[in-house]
Structure 1
Amino acid sequence: MFTNESSEQITNWYYSVAYGINISLGIPYGVSFDDEYLWDPGFGNFRMEQGNFVFYDDTSMPPNQAAVTYDISPGDQTGDRGDPGNITIQNSIDRRLYSPQLFTDNIVYVTPNKRGETMVYQGIFHRILNENPGAPDEEFWQPTNQDPTYVFTRMTTQQARMSWRDANTDGGTIDGNLYERVPSFNLGIGPYDIAPGDSVELIRIVALGEMDRNVSELGGLNATQNYLSQGLANLKANWQAALDIVDGFRRTGNWNEGISEFPPPTVGDAPFASNDDELQVDLYVDIELGMQGFELTWTAVPPNYQDPITGTNDFAGYKVYRSESRIEGPWIEAADLPRAEAAELTAGGKVTFRLPAEAGIPYRHWVTSYDLDGNESGFTAYTFHALAAKPAPSNDQSEVLVIPNPFRQVSGLSDPSEEKRISFLNIPGQCTIRIYTVAGDLVRTIEHNDGFGEEAWGSALHGDYLLTRFFQNVQPGVYIYHIESHVLGHEGESSIGKFIIIK
């Protein structure tokens, strides 16, 4: 809302917002000129002209350079569309798409201007001036240039309502050139004559969308060939949900009016919140059943909870997910805990649930609540660091294993943060592990005292996987381990073995 608080009329008033767009962030290799756009008239609003520009990552097309090609799948077929993490490194386990997201922005409602129009100016420019002096002048909006004519021309530019690819092949427009693949975007309104006390109102929606995160994290051709179409469908759904909220507000003045469904409460805070409402994950071993796994504790949905819309307690249960790759996923549903079963595991406002798991594989966990309509709570109750289940201890040291052995550059685990993990399995519950070179030099001493039957050489949490006692990277070669038990009745019992590290 822009209100003229002066005592004089404002004439020919314009407003715009402009900013740079960079879809590709944090990718493990360098790309540029790869942010593309499309025009889709299927995005609705409360003005005359319908439709939005949608920005997304595509292949890199630097001006005056040959197109970059890749030999590793999926890059050999779809280039760097979506920025797959593995297309520059053979046998990389980082297959996820780094840039599967889509972005759109528009003014969906605005007070009619002095000509009675609800028009919005939409312009796409090249966001970097100094690095690319060969771009057409009309494609630049240099923030330091304060010349009124220069600024006004760019505030009121109307982009051709077509995709980058269509504009690129259309000889009748300057739009669709390679420099727009490093874009900035402008939204503007005007002109207005605003009398003292009068206002200009606008409502703007910024929305994001993406394909199923589990699919984009798995990567491959299924992801690179479908992230645009599936992400666009998700983006449109998010846009429509936001539009419904705006519609409810415009009808009633209440921003909650357009919300048709509420998910149940979250079951914990995000990691590092430093309170007792975080998801707690501990290890357990059931020797009688021969099982091990994780004991998860989270905040229970209050028994007096009521859905804000229906006024009823429609809480239906909890879902437990786990990921052996990274926080972003893929997340696999590991357990569904209905409300009645959860009630038997609830005490003092906390739910405690045991989830069996294979030993030696680090997992992250995430817990949600869901209601009778299937709505799930947000992604807040999750663990930041991965944790591996451990087997029961063993006092028979003839069963000790080193996993993997030999260690060939990486551990073989799916989580990149665990790629240097080496574990000693079937060890006593309390023992000292000493690692030596074949020359007898002490490399590392590990004190194991948690009562379980597994211990790793370092951890991702402390960043000391395969580090020596002097915190140096271990060298390839043959190593000797010596394990000495401290278990009551087995004190002093020991074993010796060897393992190989290949880099």
Structure 2
Amino acid sequence: MKNSNNRKSGLLFYALLAGLLLFGEVQTVKAQVSGPQEIKWMWVGQLRHWFSNGLAEIEYGRRGRACCENTDQIDGLIYPAQFANQNHNVAGVMWIGTTDYDDPVSNENYAHKVVCMGSRVLNLNTEIYPEKIEMIGRYDHPVVLVDNAPASDLDDRDEVDIIDPDMSEDRMVVIRTHTSIGITVTKKVRYFAQKNHENFYIYDYVFKNTGIIDNNGTVVQKDLKDVVFHWQHRLAFGHEAFVQGWAYSNQNYGRNAVNDVIGENGLTDGSEFRASINWFGPHSGSGNFLRDIGQPNPTNSKMVSAQYVGIAVLHADTDVDNKADDIFQPKTTKFMGSDRDDQGVNQYNADLMSRKYTKHMTAGHLPQSHAELIGESFADDYGDDNGGYSAAQGFGPYPLMKHGDSIRIVLVEAIGSLDIITNKQVTVNWANNENLILPNGSEASSADEYKRTWVETGKDSLYKAFRNAKRIFNEIETSGVISDPAPPAPTSFSVIGGGDRIQLKWTPPETAFSNFAGYRVYRGVDRPDTTFQLIYDGTETSYDDKSAKRGVDYYYYVVTYDDGSTNTDVTNSGTPLESSMFYTLTNQPATLKRPPGKKLSEIRVVPNPYNIRAQELQFGTTTQDRIAFYGLPANCKIKIFTERGDLVNTIIHDDGSGDETWEQLTSSRQLVVSGVYIAYFEVMQDIIDQNSGSISLKKGDNIFRRFVIIR
């Protein structure tokens, strides 16, 4: 009786809501998320994206249009993440449709009922009902410190809920969401942070007719007819150009993105994959089609739009009782106007839902793809949809999904492109009309042919990602694990700037692996989004960077690597695999500190007095309790006492610099109180003057300093 009453009250509420929506017929064009959205970032590799518990990453869906219209038009699907402003996602869309549907909320029969997630609207808790979103990790991210302060993006972006050391994926996001037609969607996003696999995600969907239509668990058992699962992918290229202020006016939302399709109709075209492929189409604003391929920057030093993005099918159930892969799915592949093609959302608008279902979700395959229609013309000149065109795929219709039936669809989304070094070299060669050697070793007939051929190798990289994803998927299906996981990363990484060196220390992985070969340390200069150089290769767990120069900012990461025995990649078989650089990449600079003092009389305590009310005048609010000791010898012991002689803490200073800091913590990690304190400094070993060769400070030399703390 209790369940029945809950069901009736729930249906009454949604009936009232449906009535309001029926009378409010105007479709909004503003991007919006209603309801409690949760997101998880995948941040541990070269491909980064955010995932919504609403199953689709819609336009402006992460932070909203009101706050971020000028920054978030392209948001997510970041590659290569090592460099800034590499976003490609404008909107991800999922629609689920059925026919002849008696709606328990509106009490209407709909010829076509469509539940929509995007492109601009996401109705949480009125159309879709998230149950959970969680991140599972093979291990947690390491503790990364620079000068004893947190220095990793992962501290904020990598929110792991469950640790599973037996999984092959570095990270997996699991989402479960119910819909108003009673289909529960479970989505698993698999990511492998290994150099051969770090440019793709595997999306594993299971659609089950549970009958659950709301957050209260209300179950309405229905057999669903002619069920279709539909995705759209709206992409854009050249985010870097937009941020730097020289992009074409409409490329930021994909007006010139080109969509192509391969493998439709059961791979009868000879393709290896069933896939949609997207790339940057030369823009009319350039005035030169061939010159604009890849979009060279104004200084002709780099191309900012040389990527290919694609979605391929790894598996699609033939039917609810036949789990074999149906090579004729998706049954619909087309391109859709990102603004005009029935993108509104209203699950009680019968005409709108019928147009969605018949014109878009079950349209079949077009005679020509978007790319074929554009040909060698400017992509932004095609068509009359000012928002550009999105790639669309429709799976089904599946004739009958009875209560309890399920359909599984597995996709891979990948990005292929030139590596940054090759990209820059090709751009310079093209601009200078020299060294025009093609990938096959022959010489190009023109600079434009040279650049175009190299850019199009990004499609080869995309296809390689599809192949790797297919192999991984098959291995997981067969054994539950993959044959070539990335080595586990070190569990911690500490970088300390000293007076004559920068000290690097790390701890071994929490889980040992049999083919361990060593560690490698890489260093970048001036900023973290740059290329890094190898500076150490060995089996020790520390390294002193003595080549660092004063006044220069340095960024580091350390990786474990194996002996290459598990690397079977066709292009680099047998070469060692490394843990992902992003586990330990520092996001704060390390620098050489001031040189050590030569006399104990030079030691100063700063600030003195320390006053908590003057944080902004001292070391700022993020290090509000910091006290610094300046003018120290290269090595010394610092003992801090209360005025009556109680030992508060002992600090060992041995980094070769003249600086040390103290966060006003006792040896038991308690914050000290206001009062007068005494610092005792004692040299721990003889210090030799580098010029004279004589002893400048002897072991045991000491001095006291008094200071005041006001809290």
Structure 2: how far apart are the matches of 1:143 and 1:198?
29
Q: From the superposition, tell whether residues 221 and 322 of structure 1 become closer, same or farther in structure 2 (CA, over 3 Å).
A: same
Partner in structure 1 of residue 257 of structure 2: 35
Query: Which amino acid in the other structure matches residue 580 of structure 2?
Result: G
Task: Give the 5 Å matches for 1:399-478.
Answer: 451=658
Structure 2: how far apart are the matches of 1:36 and 1:207?
16
Query: Of 177, 183, 195, which aligns to 2:389?
Result: 183
- Contact map agreement 2:527 2:553 (CA 8 A) in 1: no
1:381, CA displacement in angstroms? 0.6
Structure 2: how far apart are the matches of 1:377 and 1:371?
9
1:230, CA displacement in angstroms? 3.5
What secondary structure sits across from 1:361 in the alignment?
Answer: coil
- Contact map agreement 1:218 1:330 (CA 8 A) in 2: no
| Cα distance per residue 1:186-240 (max 9 Å; x no partner) | 2211222223433222222222233224444778346965663343233222222
1:155, CA displacement in angstroms? 0.9
Partner in structure 1 of residue 455 of structure 2: 228
Partner in structure 2 of residue 378 of structure 1: 580
Find out whether 1:68 has 2:291 as its counterpart: no
What secondary structure sits across from 2:395 in the alignment?
Answer: strand
Task: Give the 5 Å matches for 1:43-122.
Answer: 50-61=273-284, 67-69=285-287, 78-79=291-292, 81-84=293-296, 86-87=297-298, 95-112=301-318, 118-120=328-330, 121-122=332-333
Q: From the superposition, tell whether residues 331 and 180 of structure 1 become closer, same or farther in structure 2 (CA, over 3 Å).
A: farther
Task: Give the 5 Å matches for 1:283-322.
Answer: 283-285=497-499, 292-301=500-509, 305-306=512-513, 313-322=514-523
Structure 2: how far apart are the matches of 1:357 and 1:40?
51
Structure 2: how far apart are the matches of 1:162 and 1:293?
62
Query: Of 406, 416, 419, which aligns to 1:212?
Result: 419
Structure 2: how far apart are the matches of 1:205 and 1:283?
43
Structure 1: how far apart are the matches of 2:327 and 2:392?
18
Q: From the superposition, tell whether residues 16 and 255 of structure 1 become closer, same or farther in structure 2 (CA, over 3 Å).
A: farther
1:327, CA displacement in angstroms? 2.4
Q: Percent identity?
A: 19
Structure 1: how far apart are the matches of 2:235 and 2:287?
24
Q: From the superposition, tell whether residues 356 and 117 of structure 1 become closer, same or farther in structure 2 (CA, over 3 Å).
A: closer
Partner in structure 2 of residue 494 of structure 1: none
Query: Of 211, 214, 239, which aligns to 2:466?
Result: 239
1:261, CA displacement in angstroms? 0.9
Find out whether 1:265 has 2:456 as its counterpart: no
Structure 1: how far apart are the matches of 2:579 and 2:317?
36
- Contact map agreement 1:165 1:176 (CA 8 A) in 2: no
Partner in structure 2 of residue 364 of structure 1: 555
What secondary structure sits across from 1:387 in the alignment?
Answer: coil
Query: Of 338, 356, 359, which aligns to 1:127?
Result: 338
Structure 2: how far apart are the matches of 1:361 and 1:219?
30
1:315, CA displacement in angstroms? 0.9
What secondary structure sits across from 1:166 in the alignment?
Answer: helix
Find out whether 1:148 has 2:329 as its counterpart: no
Structure 1: how far apart are the matches of 2:485 and 2:585?
21
Q: From the superposition, tell whether residues 298 and 194 of structure 1 become closer, same or farther in structure 2 (CA, over 3 Å).
A: same
Structure 1: how far apart are the matches of 2:224 and 2:580?
46
After superposition, the CA RMSD in angstroms is 4.3
Query: Which amino acid in the other structure matches residue 317 of structure 1?
Result: G
Query: Which amino acid in the other structure matches residue 150 of structure 1?
Result: R
What secondary structure sits across from 2:456 in the alignment?
Answer: helix
1:35, CA displacement in angstroms? 1.7
1:293, CA displacement in angstroms? 3.8
Structure 2: how far apart are the matches of 1:429 and 1:166?
70
Query: Which amino acid in the other structure matches residue 14 of structure 1?
Result: V
| Cα distance per residue 1:11-61 (max 9 Å; x no partner) | 22222123422334353123223322344559x99xx98332211224323
- Contact map agreement 2:282 2:290 (CA 8 A) in 1: no
> Which structure 1 segments of 5+ residues have no match?
62-66, 71-75, 130-139, 269-276, 286-291, 307-312, 396-427, 431-448, 453-487, 490-503
Structure 1: how far apart are the matches of 2:393 and 2:236?
17
Structure 2: how far apart are the matches of 1:226 and 1:9?
52
1:243, CA displacement in angstroms? 1.0
Query: Of 167, 170, 188, which aligns to 2:373?
Result: 167
Task: Give the 5 Å matches for 1:380-399.
Answer: 380-389=583-592
Q: From the superposition, tell whether residues 386 and 8 of structure 1 become closer, same or farther in structure 2 (CA, over 3 Å).
A: closer
> Which structure 2 segments of 5+ residues have no match?
1-205, 212-220, 431-450, 565-575, 599-629, 633-655, 660-695, 698-711
1:299, CA displacement in angstroms? 2.3
Task: Give the 5 Å matches for 1:247-258.
Answer: 247-250=474-477, 252=478, 254-256=479-481
Q: From the superposition, tell whether residues 41 and 353 of structure 1 become closer, same or farther in structure 2 (CA, over 3 Å).
A: farther
Structure 2: how far apart are the matches of 1:334 and 1:383?
15
1:371, CA displacement in angstroms? 0.3
- Contact map agreement 2:522 2:558 (CA 8 A) in 1: yes
What secondary structure sits across from 1:112 in the alignment?
Answer: strand
Structure 2: how far apart are the matches of 1:222 and 1:180?
35
Query: Of 504, 527, 533, which aligns to 1:332?
Result: 533
Partner in structure 2 of residue 444 of structure 1: none
Q: From the superposition, tell whether residues 128 and 217 of structure 1 become closer, same or farther in structure 2 (CA, over 3 Å).
A: farther
- Contact map agreement 1:319 1:368 (CA 8 A) in 2: yes
Tell me how many residue pairs correspond in the alignment: 337
| Cα distance per residue 1:425-455 (max 9 Å; x no partner) | xxx969xxxxxxxxxxxxxxxxxx9639xxx
Once structures 1 and 2 are overlaid, which stretch shifts more, 368-377 or 49-58?
49-58
| Cα distance per residue 1:124-169 (max 9 Å; x no partner) | 122134xxxxxxxxxx242247523311211123454866443224
Query: Which amino acid in the other structure matches residue 363 of structure 1?
Result: Y
1:362, CA displacement in angstroms? 2.4
Structure 1: how far apart are the matches of 2:452 and 2:502?
37
1:10, CA displacement in angstroms? 2.5
Structure 2: how far apart are the matches of 1:394 and 1:58?
61
- Contact map agreement 1:17 1:186 (CA 8 A) in 2: yes
Query: Which amino acid in the other structure matches residue 528 of structure 2?
Result: I
Query: Of 17, 23, 35, which aligns to 2:237?
Result: 23
Structure 2: how far apart are the matches of 1:218 and 1:181?
34
What secondary structure sits across from 1:23 in the alignment?
Answer: coil
Structure 1: how far apart are the matches of 2:335 and 2:307?
19
Partner in structure 2 of residue 446 of structure 1: none
Structure 2: how far apart are the matches of 1:217 and 1:183?
30
